[in-house]
Structure formats: structure tokens, C-alpha cells
Structure 1
Amino acid sequence: MSDAHHNSESSFGCACVQMTSGPDPARNLAEALELGQSATAARADFLTYPEAVDLLDPDAERVKAYARPLEQHEFVLGMRQLAARQKQWILIGSVTARSASGEIVNRSVLIGPTGAVLATYDKIHLFDAPANRDNPVPESVLYRAGGTARVFSLPWTTIGLSICYDLRFPLLFRALTHHGAKVLCVPAAFLQSTGEAHWHTLLRARAIENGCYVIAPAQCGVPHAGRKNYGHSLIVDPWGRVLADAGDQPGVVSAAIDLAVLDTARTALPCLVHERTFSMHTPNTAEAALNAHA
């Protein structure tokens, strides 16, 4: 594990906290604070947590009753205190929150080193795969989908925000990149089955195709009966190289984000400036029949 602390204006240290959050918010907060105060986490300039870090509960009614505005959210308040105490940037991958209009949202929260909430992002692509034992409630039953993508400038670089299922929609990440993102954040709670199939591949693809670093803190283990999370929080560089992998147990991994590597990758493979617009020709029925008999 590398020392996460930055040593120049072109690099900074990042850490991913990997957890097994469950139906007990108080326990989840205690674990988040304990891991966040570990030596590796405390050295990082930018500390990141997974999706649903405050609560993973299969009971939809309990989730609805738990949701609250950020200013009243005990988990967010705890993380704000941690950020101020350790003087670091913290990304809460997501919490179950209530919007200003009272709707429940799956919301990322970015906290600055003074403890102030500086940016939020509501998950755009809700996981509405067919309900099964692993995923009993489609997300749209609980949450209102977000409609606005978000980038934010840290002292060292610009990050693009996303959450979990967003990973499967590459146009979102291209838009974030074209709006200045050099680091893509993908906090997640991937299931074991889909994680084994796609997690590493998709994260490496988003890094390579956009010439970006990818930081992906994840949930691991069994949060409640019937669900198993994949884990493997990853930090990936713009060449698709995995710099840190947390495996399948709770803990913290870290790596240095070196923006010189990003500049080299984008210079060697200038895909972002070689994009071209194009038209699409789809033969109509008459054209297709004519061509078939030509």
C-alpha cells in the first residue's frame, strides 16, 4: 500500500474506505469513523466512502422512515466533523437523504476540509433490474432519480461524480470528462454476481476511454440476509492499471493520483480531441427490399 499523501501540486493522495454497511445506522457510522481515522485514511488528502454507507436495509419502509435532510443527517454530521478534524476532503459515496421537496434521494455528499458540505449529486441511473433475492426492491420504488451531472474542482484537480449503476452508462462519464473531470468517482454497492462479471472491466474501461483516474470505494461482505456485496474498491489510472484493490474485506486502500500520468496518457492517446460527429443511415423497408434483390 502506497503512502497516500500528496507531495506536489500535480499529485495528491486518495484513499478508499471499504465497508459492510447494514441496517443499523449507528453501527455504520461508528465503523466509518473508525476506518476513516486509521493511519492510511488519515494521511489521504481525499478520503472516499462507498454508496449506501449509512444504511443498507432490505425493508423499504424502514428506509423511508430513516431518510432525512442533510442538515439533520447524523451520518453526514459525523463525516463533517471527521473532515474538519483531519483537515481533508471527504466524499460520502451516498446516503439516503431527503431533498428540499421531501423526496427520498440516493445522494453523494462532498465535504471540504473545514467540514462544510460543498457539493452533492443525486444518482441519475437507478438500479431497476428485476427484483430478486439479492435485490428485492428496485431503486425507483424508494428514490427519486437525479437529473443533473456534477463536476467539482478540488485544489489539485476536477472530479466527476457518479454512483454505482451509473457506471454502465458511458455517455455520463464522457460528459463529465468534457466538462473538465480528470478523476471519476464511482462509489458503489455492487452485488457479488455482477461484480465478478463486470466491476473491474467497466471501471478500467471508463478510465481508459476517458483518460481519467477512477476512484471506486465499494461495499463488501453480507450486510443482511440475502445479499452479498462484491467489494474490491479500486483506484485505477488513465492507462487502466489498477493501483489499489481492497479485496473482499473491510479496510482502507490508498494510492497517489499523479496528474502527470494523466497528461501523458491523454497526449499519447488524444481520443478526446479526435471525436467526430457523424450521421447514421438506417435503410427503410423499401430500400432494404431493393437491395436484397439487387
Structure 2
Amino acid sequence: MQSISAAAIQMVSSPDVAENLRQVAALIDRAASAGAKLIVLPEYFAIMGLSDKDKLAQQEPFKFAGAASEPTPLQDFLAQQAQQHGIWLVGGTIPLQSGQVDKVMNTCLAFNPQGECVARYDKVHLFGFANGSECFQESDTISPGALPVAFDTPFGRVGLAVCYDIRFPEFFRALQHVGTVDIWAIPAAFTATTGRAHWEVLLRARAIENQCFIIASGQGGTHASGRTTYGHSMLIDPWGAVLAVWPEGEGVVSAELKASQLQRVRTILPALKHRVF
């Protein structure tokens, strides 16, 4: 791994796609102008609708699988931002066509500084939660993906995970069989209820057990639907230390991901080499 300046962008996205894109473009510009070369957007950055079904109207075909016959404004936006700023951009999540009329894929796309899509990850674990006052069931509008995904960069190997995935440690370990992941990028829209209890401890656990950096980019506020997301976008080092955090509201949080720290942790405590299972 090589050291790199990285940033997580936090939003409070609304049902207005055009306004969300305007806001995220300004935040990307702020992060890139401050020197970030790897930037991660939150889950649902382009739309947090009044209902979960609102995102169905924004679904696109996957442009980079070939010539798309329909417009792909969200994918075009992400590619353009990466190229314009010369950055590696993990594009939060956008709704892509699933082949089902009433469901989409919740997809995270990664772009290189040339604006080329270098990885696609479809969210595997779909959030389900009901405590009497809140109820969420992502499987009502989302089709699950099948596999974890990572991609190679000049500064290291980057894994992609989304939100609820962080509760499943075996998901992160699955990629260790094909090459160690140095950085996990994790877009999210964690609820305030579950976030207060579990967000930081789960992220730090994933960083510690996989001896990697984590960039977790969240939604962080009260949305038009009344849903409240936890925020606390953060960057974490391989020892489990929180390098920087943005608690609430929209903003940018950044840190230097130092190759020397990754190497030190993996040298003094070579736990990944000690694995039995």
C-alpha cells in the first residue's frame, strides 16, 4: 500500500435528485481541493425519497456493461466528477435495474481518475428492522447482490461494502482468500436508533480484525420522510483508532491513510497470517 489522502462525504439527501447532485458536487469539490485523492459518497446520495419506492423512478441500466439504450444521468455524473477532479471516487449507491419491475439493485460503483468504472458492487445484505415505532424492509424494493467486490489501485486494494454489510464479519473475510484488502469503503445510511448503539463499534471491529483502513460515509440528519440517519462518517486505521469523524449534517471528513501504519500493525501483530479457518 501507498499512503493516500482520503475523504468521506456526509449528506442529508432529499427527494430532489437535482439538488442532491448539486450539493454532492460542491462537497466533492471541497474534498478534492483539500487534497483528497480517494473520496467516498454515502448510500442513497442521489435520493432519499418520501417512500422507499421513490428510488424506483430513478433506476438506470448499467452503462458500463455495454451501450446503454436509456439515459444514465447518475452514472454520467459520477464518471464526470471523478474525471474532472482527477480522483478515485466510490459513488455511494445508486439504483440500477434488477430485471424486476418493482425492485432495483442498490449498487456501489467505483471510478478511476479517468472517469472509468473500475468496480461494481450490488449490496448483498438487505436491512430489516422493526421495533414497534420504526420499520424498514429493504427487500421490499431491492434485489440482493451475490458477492463482495474489491479493486486494485496504485495505493492499495480497496473493498466495497454497504451499510448493513458491516454486521457480517464473514463478508469482509471472504475476500482475504484472493488478496488482502487494504482499505474498505463503506457507504451507509444507518438509522439513528441502530447507529447510536452499533455503528462505531462495528466499524472499528471490522478494521481491527481485518487490519485495514475503513472509510465510512453516511447520511446524517432528518430527511423529508421523517427518517433520521445517524451520520458520524469516519475514517479508521488498522489498529481501530478513529482518525476523524463528522457527527451530524452534511460535510467532509478526511485523513491521511498512512502505509507505514498499515505495515506496522500487520508486522507487530500478524493476525491475518495466524488465521486457521
User: 5 Å matches for 1:3-152?
Assistant: 10-38=2-30, 43-71=35-63, 72-99=71-98, 104-130=104-130, 134-135=134-135, 137-152=136-151
SS at match of 1:244: strand
Cα shift readout 1:65-98 (whole Å, capped 9, x = no counterpart): 2212243332221121111111111001211121
Higher gyration radius (CA): 1
For 1:41 and 1:107, the matched residues in 2 are separated by 27
Equivalent residue for 1:281?
Answer: none
Identify if the C-alpha distance between structure 1 residues 177 and 259 changes in structure 2 by more than 3 Å, giving closer, same or farther: farther
SS at match of 1:209: helix
What TM-score do you get using the length of structure 1 for normalisation? 0.86
Cα shift readout 1:173-229 (whole Å, capped 9, x = no counterpart): 112334321111111101111111111111111111111111101111112232111
The structural deviation recorded for 1:101 is: 7.4
What TM-score do you get using the length of structure 2 for normalisation? 0.91
Cα shift readout 1:122-146 (whole Å, capped 9, x = no counterpart): 00000022386544x4111111100
Identify if the C-alpha distance between structure 1 residues 24 and 68 changes in structure 2 by more than 3 Å, giving closer, same or farther: same
Q: 1:89 touches 1:112 (CA, 8 Å); kept in 2?
A: yes
For 1:38 and 1:112, the matched residues in 2 are separated by 18
For 1:101 and 1:47, the matched residues in 2 are separated by 31
Corresponding residue pairs, total: 268
Which has the higher mean CA deviation after the structures are superposed, 252-261 or 31-40?
Answer: 31-40
Equivalent residue for 1:289?
Answer: none
Equivalent residue for 1:213?
Answer: 213
Equivalent residue for 1:175?
Answer: 174
The structural deviation recorded for 1:39 is: 5.2
The structural deviation recorded for 1:248 is: 0.8
Cα shift readout 1:263-285 (whole Å, capped 9, x = no counterpart): 110111111111224xxxxxxxx
Aligned Cα RMSD in Å?
1.9
For 1:235 and 1:157, the matched residues in 2 are separated by 16
**Identity fraction in percent:** 37
Q: 1:14 touches 1:255 (CA, 8 Å); kept in 2?
A: yes
SS at match of 2:120: strand
Q: 2:51 touches 2:225 (CA, 8 Å); kept in 1?
A: no
SS at match of 1:262: helix
Q: 1:35 touches 1:41 (CA, 8 Å); kept in 2?
A: no
Give the unaligned 5+ runs of structure 1.
1-8, 278-294
For 1:39 and 1:204, the matched residues in 2 are separated by 23
SS at match of 1:62: helix
Q: Which has the higher strand share?
A: 2
Cα shift readout 1:90-112 (whole Å, capped 9, x = no counterpart): 00121112147775100001011
Identify if the C-alpha distance between structure 1 residues 80 and 42 changes in structure 2 by more than 3 Å, giving closer, same or farther: farther
Which has the higher mean CA deviation after the structures are superposed, 9-18 or 235-244?
Answer: 9-18
Matched AA of 2:147: T
Equivalent residue for 1:288?
Answer: none
Matched AA of 1:236: I
Q: 1:17 touches 1:41 (CA, 8 Å); kept in 2?
A: no
Identify if the C-alpha distance between structure 1 residues 132 and 22 changes in structure 2 by more than 3 Å, giving closer, same or farther: farther
Matched AA of 2:165: D
Matched AA of 1:161: L
User: 5 Å matches for 1:232-271?
Assistant: 232-271=232-271
Matched AA of 1:175: A
For 1:100 and 1:77, the matched residues in 2 are separated by 21
